[in-house]
Amino acid sequence: MREVYVVGVGMSEWGEIWQKSIRDLFVDAARAAISNAGVDRLDSLYVGCMSGGLFVGQEHIGALMADYLGMRGLPAVRVESACASGGMAFRQAFLEVASGASDVVMASGVEKMTDVSGDGCTDALATAADQEYEVFHGATFPGLYAMMAHAHMARYGTTREMLSAVAAKNHRNGAKNPVAQYPFEITAEAVSKSVMVADPLRILDCSPITDGAAAVIVTTKEVAQKLKRPYIKVLGSAIGTDSIALAQRADITTIKSATIATEKALKMAGKAIGDIRFAEVHDCFTIAEIMVAESIGKFAPGKAGEAILSCETSLEGKFPINPSGGLKSKGHPVGATGVAQIVEVYKQLTGQAENGRQIPKSPTLGMAQNMGGSGASSVVHVLEVAG
């Protein structure tokens, strides 16, 4: 396989974007990535999109986006893996360049979630859960993650204070991110006192409903060097899966798919988890960040909450998690999230994180972990400074 590099990134505005359509958001991000990379062509396009049909009544996403980008005829494919659709799109672009099939590929993701009612959005998101054994009986994702939180609390003594610390930390980071949906700080006390959604999870434990898109340019070393723009290397890429239904898992206090994907990605990269300097992880709920931090092997089971309370995962800590603000503050347009994680890793590794969000001491190795639903699918990428 050939070496693969990321040479340019772009994002649209994120939030409740009433004045723009799903295609507008995609084009904004795609054009920004093309301009940032300085490329004059694309060989193919992958678009992560979870539920375009349910959110905006639009399927056939790949061809539509190629058309509105002004590139009719371009090979373009939609990729779906629930909330991991963006990360999976990036993996497909990586594999296409690594295989030698193409030299310049765009990996992108997009979702327009606010064009339906709250109930409609809940129904669309619920398609990532087990319809027969969970959704039919009334389970929603806040409810599923609440069960995971209760199990984690019962086994390891995880506390309300630990959950609140995740949200407060991510909002501190997101307050410095110019594209964040919620670019403001919140206190741990405010999180703990916010409206209950599914005990023990409160509204400020939950990522928001978001419109947005993200895109990155994936290419060869030769092309990256010719462009004379900052670039980073993709060292490892891997996928893991697990049962969709929580009731069919051996242990709901861990994310097995994330463990599988991390171990494989690290093996491919020739690295150990101790080598990784920071990570963007899938914090759809505060408990998810705690569980993922343990599942990727960075912290022992039951120890991530303590690490968050002691600021080990802050920007200045030993292992920063979600310097972008994560899904909690930056937002979570489900098809775009995984690509936006790559955008943040690119910025951190090339020293371009805005507004004082740059991790100190110039990190050289980062990780992105993106997952679908309650963790039935997970994709992990390991990236490093090119040199």
Shortest CA distance to 256 belongs to which of 270, 243, 269? Answer: 243
> Where do the DSSP E strands lie in 164-245?
196-198, 201-202, 211-219, 232-241
Q: What pLDDT sits at residue 300?
A: 98
Is the N-terminal amide bond of 323 cis, ω within 30° of 0?
Answer: no
Whether 195 and 202 have beta carbons less than 8 Å apart is answered as: yes
Name the β-bridge partners of 219. Answer: 5, 104
Q: What pLDDT sits at residue 168?
A: 98
| CB proximity list for 294: less than 8 A, separation 6 or greater | 254, 300, 301, 302, 303, 304
Question: Does the pLDDT of residue 387 top 80, yes or no?
Answer: no
In this prediction the pTM is 0.98
Mean predicted confidence (pLDDT) in 54-65? 97
Shortest CA distance to 128 belongs to which of 261, 289, 245? Answer: 245
- Confidence band, pLDDT 50/70/90 cuts, at residue 309: very high
Q: Where are the CATH 3.40.47.10 domain residues in the chain? A: 4-117+210-227, 122-206+235-385
Looking at the annotation, which residues are catalytic?
83, 332
Mean predicted confidence (pLDDT) in 309-328? 98
**CA dist., res. 283 & res. 289, Å (int):** 5
Mean predicted confidence (pLDDT) in 161-167? 98
For a pLDDT cut of 90, what percent of the chain falls above it?
Answer: 99
Whether 94 and 106 have beta carbons less than 8 Å apart is answered as: no
Whether 235 and 367 have beta carbons less than 8 Å apart is answered as: no
> If DSSP codes are grouped into helix, strand and coil, which group holds residue 290?
helix
Nearest-Å Rg of the Cα atoms of the chain is 19
**Helix crossing, 141-156 with 286-295: angle to 10°?**
60
Burial code (b: 16+ CB inside 10 Å, e: under 16) for 100-118 equals: eebbbbbbbbbbbbbebee
For 112, the enclosing helix (H) or strand (E) is strand 104-112
Task: Name the token pair of 74.
Answer: 């371009």
Mean predicted confidence (pLDDT) in 2-15? 98
Amino acid at 3: E
In Å, how far are 57, 123, 162, 338, 342 from 113, measured between CA atoms? 11, 12, 29, 16, 21
Mean predicted confidence (pLDDT) in 104-132? 96
End-to-end, the C-alpha distance of the chain in Å comes to 19
Measured at the CA of 48, the angle between CA 184 and CA 125, to 5 degrees, comes to 65
The model's pLDDT over 256-273, given as tens digits with 9 standing for 90+, comes to: 999 999 999 999 999 999
| CB proximity list for 249: less than 8 A, separation 6 or greater | 242, 243, 256
Whether 83 and 370 have beta carbons less than 8 Å apart is answered as: yes
Q: What pLDDT sits at residue 201?
A: 98
Question: Does the pLDDT of residue 216 top 90, yes or no?
Answer: yes
Whether 209 and 331 have beta carbons less than 8 Å apart is answered as: no
For a pLDDT cut of 70, what percent of the chain falls above it?
Answer: 100
- Confidence band, pLDDT 50/70/90 cuts, at residue 362: confident
Question: Does the pLDDT of residue 29 top 90, yes or no?
Answer: yes
Shortest CA distance to 215 belongs to which of 65, 110, 108? Answer: 108
* CATH number assigned to the domain covering 122-206+235-385: 3.40.47.10
Homologous superfamily of 4-117+210-227: Thiolase/Chalcone synthase (3.40.47.10)
Matching residue, tokens 């199990």:
151
Name the β-bridge partners of 136. Answer: none
Question: Does the pLDDT of residue 68 top 90, yes or no?
Answer: yes
Q: What is the mean pLDDT of the chain?
A: 97
Mean predicted confidence (pLDDT) in 159-185? 98
Mean predicted confidence (pLDDT) in 2-21? 97
